[in-house]
Amino acid sequence: MEVKRYQKENLIMENIPAIPVSLVQKLRSFQNIRGASFGAWLPKDQGMLIFTRFAEAAQIHRVMNPGGMRRQLTFFGEPVGGGEVCPDPAVPYFLFTKDSAGDEQHQIYKFNYADESYEMLTDGKARNEACLWTNRGDRFAFSSTMRNGRDFDIWVGNLEGARNFQIVAQEGGTWYPIDWSPDDSSLLLLNYISVNESYYHILNLAEKRLEKLNPQAQKIAYSMARWSRDGKGIFLISDQFSEFWQLLYYDPQSKTFKVLTGKIPWDIEDFDLADDGQRIALVANEDGWRALYLLAPDKGDPVSVPLPQGQIFGIKFKPDSKALAVVLNTSRAPSDVYVRNLETGEMVRWTESETAGLATKDFIDPELIRYPTFDTVEGTRRMIPAFYYRPKNADVPFPVLIVCHGGPEGQFTPSFAPLTEYYLNELGIAIIFPNFRGSSGYGKEFLELDNGAKREDAVRDVGALLDWIAGNPELDGRRVAVSGGSYGGYMTLAVMINYPDRLCGGVDFCGISNFVTFLESTAEYRRDRRRVEYGDEREPAMRELLNRISPLTNAGKIKKPMFIVQGKNDPRVPVTEAEQMVGAIRDNGIEVWYLRAEDEGHGFAKKTNRDYYNQAFIMFLEKFLLP
C-alpha cells in the first residue's frame, strides 16, 4: 500500500490529507480556550501561584489578588509542574519541575520570586519528583532515580543543589516522601507497588530507622497522608476497612484507626489539613462527579459544601487557616481558582479564564447511564457505568463515538470539553465514555476485575456497549467509531480486532500493541509496577497469554481504517509500539493514518501539536464515520 509521508516542523504525517483552512477557522475558538489551576499560596498575603497556558504549554503565573493580572513567571516550551513554595517567608523561593520534549526525566529547579531568577538543581539525567519542604523551610525531600536509573529513592537537599543532596532511603522499588513530622525529625514515606497495594513507613532521620506503619497480612492500598499538627497521629486515605477509599486517623501509640468518612460511600480522593489543625477539606468522587466536604476532627461527620456539579481539585488551605483555595471545572466553565472564606462561606473567584467567545452556557451535560455486560453479580447482570452525550440539534439516529479512558485504572469524569461540544453540535455525533471494569471510583473489587489473565473482560464490556447501542433507537449501530489514549489506545485496538464488523474506524493514541514488547521496553522504573497490572512476561505461561491477546498478534482481524498517533519520546509506551502496529495493519491492505510528534512523549503537551491532531481526528471522523 502506498504511503504518503511528509513533515511539518516537528510533526511527521503519513496518509493524512491536508487540513482545510475552513476547518482550522471553524475550530479556532474551540482550540483557544484556557483554564487555570492552583499551584500554591505565597506567604504574607503575596498572592498565589497558578498554572495556565498563554503560548505552547502551561506555565507558572503569579496572581496577587482576586481578578488580578496573571504575571507569567516561567517561560519554557515544555509544561512545568510543582510550584512548592518555601514556607520560610525570608526565603523567597519555590521549586518547580520540567522535562525535555516529553521524556518525563523531570528536573528540579529553584525559582526566586523576588527577582524572578531560576536555576536547575538536579543532574539533568535522572527522573525527580514529589518535592516536599520541611516545616521550617531549610530543606526539602524528593524522590529520584539518581542512584541507578531504576529505583525511586528518597533524597534530602537544599537550595544549594546537588552538592548538598543526601540519600536517606534506598529500599528498592518506588518510594515517595509524603509529609514531614511537625518537628521535622521524621519523614512519612509511601512505598507504591500498584493501585491495589502500597505501604506507609516512618523514617527517623537521626536514627536512620525505617518503621512500617500498620503491618498487615492483607493487601492494602494507601493514598495521601498528613501528620496531625500535634504530631500524635496521622490522617491518611486507605481502603483497609471498605471497598472504597476512606479518610482515617491513625494513632501510632495504640496502633488503632478511626474512620472519619464512614458515611460517604465513595472514594475520598484528596484532602488538606489546615495549619491550625482545626479543619480538614476533602474531595469525594461520587459516581464520577466530585464533591467538597469540610470536617472538624473529633467534632462530627463531614459537612457538604454546596458547589456546582463538576470536578473539584487543587484544594489548599491558606497558611492563616482562614481560607481555602479550590479549583472548579464544570461542563459549562473551564477550570478556575476560587477561594472560600471559612468564616463567612463566601466564594471569591481569583481567575477568570477565557472562553474565546463561545456560548459555553449552552454546552451539554452528559447523562450517567448503566448498561448490562456479559457476567453476573449475585444472579443479576453486572452493570457498567458510562457517560452519554447526546447532540441537541442533529437527526436521529446519531452516529456514535466510543472513547476509552487510559490507566487501566483511570476513570472518565465529565469536565469542560469544548471539542466534545464540537463533535456534538457541529458533527451531530453522540459520544459515550464507558468506565469498564478495572476503572477506579467503583470499589477495589471492580478495580481488580481486569488484572492479568482477565484483561480481555474489559474489552467484552465495550462489546456489551455495542449491543446497547444497537438496541437504542436514537443511536445508529451501523456508524460507530472507537478511540482512546494510552491504555485506552490498547482498548481501541482490541475492540477493533474483536468487533471488526461493528465499527467504522478507530483512533489509537500512544496505545500498547504488544504487551510483551511493551513490558520489555517501557522505562525501567515502570516495569515492575506494570507487571503487577498486566502480568509478568518473564513467566512462560503469562508470556504466551500476553502474546496471544496482544493487538499485534491479531492485527489481521482489523478490517476498518485506523488513525494511530504517537510521541517519539514516550517513555511509557515507546514509539515502537505504534510503528509495529501501523506496519502490521498496512500489510493487510487496511488504510492507516499515522501521526508522530518528534517533540512529544506520552500525549501531546504542546498546543500546536494538539491542535493539528484534533483537526486530523475530525477529518478522520468525517471521512469514515459520518458518511
Among 291, 322, 352, identify where a domain stops. Answer: 352
pLDDT over 80 (residue 482) = yes
pLDDT at 216: 83
pLDDT digits (tens, 9 = 90+) for 569-593: 999 999 999 999 999 999 999 999 9
Task: Identify the band that residue 287 occupies on the pLDDT scale cut at 50, 70 and 90.
Answer: very high
Q: Which residue has the cell 456546582?
A: 308
Report the C-alpha gap between 61 and 235 in whole angstroms.
31
Condensed to tens digits (0 to 9), the pLDDT of residues 200-218 reads 999 999 998 999 988 887 8
pLDDT of residue 68: 94
Apex CA 165: angle with CA 93 and CA 191, to 5°? Answer: 95
Residue 452 has pLDDT above 90, yes or no: no
Domain boundary among 321, 352, 383: 352
pLDDT given for residue 407 in this prediction = 85
Strand partners, 403: 483
**How high is the pLDDT of residue 79?**
94
> Is residue 177 assigned to a domain?
no
Please indicate, yes or no, if residue 122 is contained in any of the structural domains: no
What's the CATH number where 306 sits? 2.120.10.30
303 and 405 in a single domain? The answer is no
The tens digit of pLDDT for each residue in 495-515 reads 999 999 999 999 999 999 999
pLDDT at 174: 94
Mean pLDDT computed over 205-233: 91
pLDDT computed for residue 44 by the predictor: 86
Verify that 372 and 344 share a domain, yes or no.
Answer: no
pLDDT at 408: 87
1: pLDDT strictly greater than 80 = no
Both 329 and 426 in a single domain?
Answer: no
- Same domain, yes or no, for 405 and 279? no
Cα–Cα distance for residue pair 527/518, rounded to 1 Å: 9
Q: Is 317 a residue whose pLDDT tops 80? A: yes
E strand or H helix at 62? strand 59-63
Query: What 3-state DSSP class applies to 66?
Result: coil
Task: Answer with the one of 328, 352, 376 that is the final residue of a domain.
Answer: 352
Mean pLDDT calculated for residue range 102-119: 95
Is residue 200 included in any domain, yes or no? no
Q: What is the mean pLDDT of residues 65-82?
A: 95
* Percentage with pLDDT > 90 across the chain: 88
Rg (CA), the chain: 24
Residue 319 pLDDT: 94
List, for residues 342-375, the tens digit of each pLDDT value. Answer: 999 999 999 999 999 998 988 999 999 999 999 9
Q: Are residues 435 and 294 in the same domain?
A: no
Q: Is residue 567 part of a domain?
A: yes
Classify residue 385: in a domain, yes or no: yes
If you average pLDDT over residues 320-335, what whole number do you get? 95
Measured CA to CA, the distance from residue 58 to residue 51 in angstroms comes to 6
How far is residue 191's CA from residue 173's CA, in Å, rounded to a whole number? 7
Q: Which domain holds residue 261?
A: 224-352
Higher pLDDT, 117 or 394: 117
Residue 580 lies in a domain: yes
SS3 string of 286-327? ECCEEEEEEECCCCCCCEEECCCCCEEEEEEECCCCCEEEEE
Q: Does some domain include residue 189?
A: no
Residue 22, domain member (yes or no):
yes
Residues 338 and 389 in one domain: no
Under DSSP, is residue 120 helix (H, G, I), strand (E, B) or coil? strand
Q: How far is CA 606 from CA 10, 58, 598, in A?
A: 11, 9, 12
Do 250 and 392 fall into the same domain?
no
pLDDT bracket for residue 534 (50, 70, 90): confident
Please tell me the pTM assigned to this model: 0.95
What integer best gives the mean pLDDT of the chain? 94
Residues 271 and 388 in one domain: no
What is the per-residue pLDDT across 137-172, written as a single tens digit (0 to 9) for each?
999 999 999 999 999 999 999 999 888 899 999 999
Q: Are residues 341 and 417 part of one domain?
A: no
Distance CA 102, CA 81 (A): 13
On the 0-12 / 13-18 / 19+ scale of CB atoms within 10 A, 100 is middle
Q: Looking at the structure, do residues 339 and 464 belong to the same domain, yes or no? A: no
| Range from 293-302, 311-320, 609-618 carrying the lowest mean pLDDT | 293-302
Q: Can you give the pLDDT at residue 190? A: 96
User: Are residues 582 and 455 part of one domain?
Assistant: yes
- Residue the block writes with cell 465514555: 433
CATH code of the domain in which 480 resides? 3.40.50.1820
pLDDT in the model for residue 280: 97
Confidence of residue 297 (pLDDT cuts 50, 70, 90): confident
CA dist 466 and 170 (Å) reads 49
Residues 396 and 265 in one domain: no
The confidence band for 533, taking pLDDT boundaries of 50, 70 and 90, is confident
Say yes or no to pLDDT of 115 above 80. Answer: yes
Our count of domains for the chain comes to: 2
At 601, the pLDDT band (50, 70, 90 cuts) reads very high
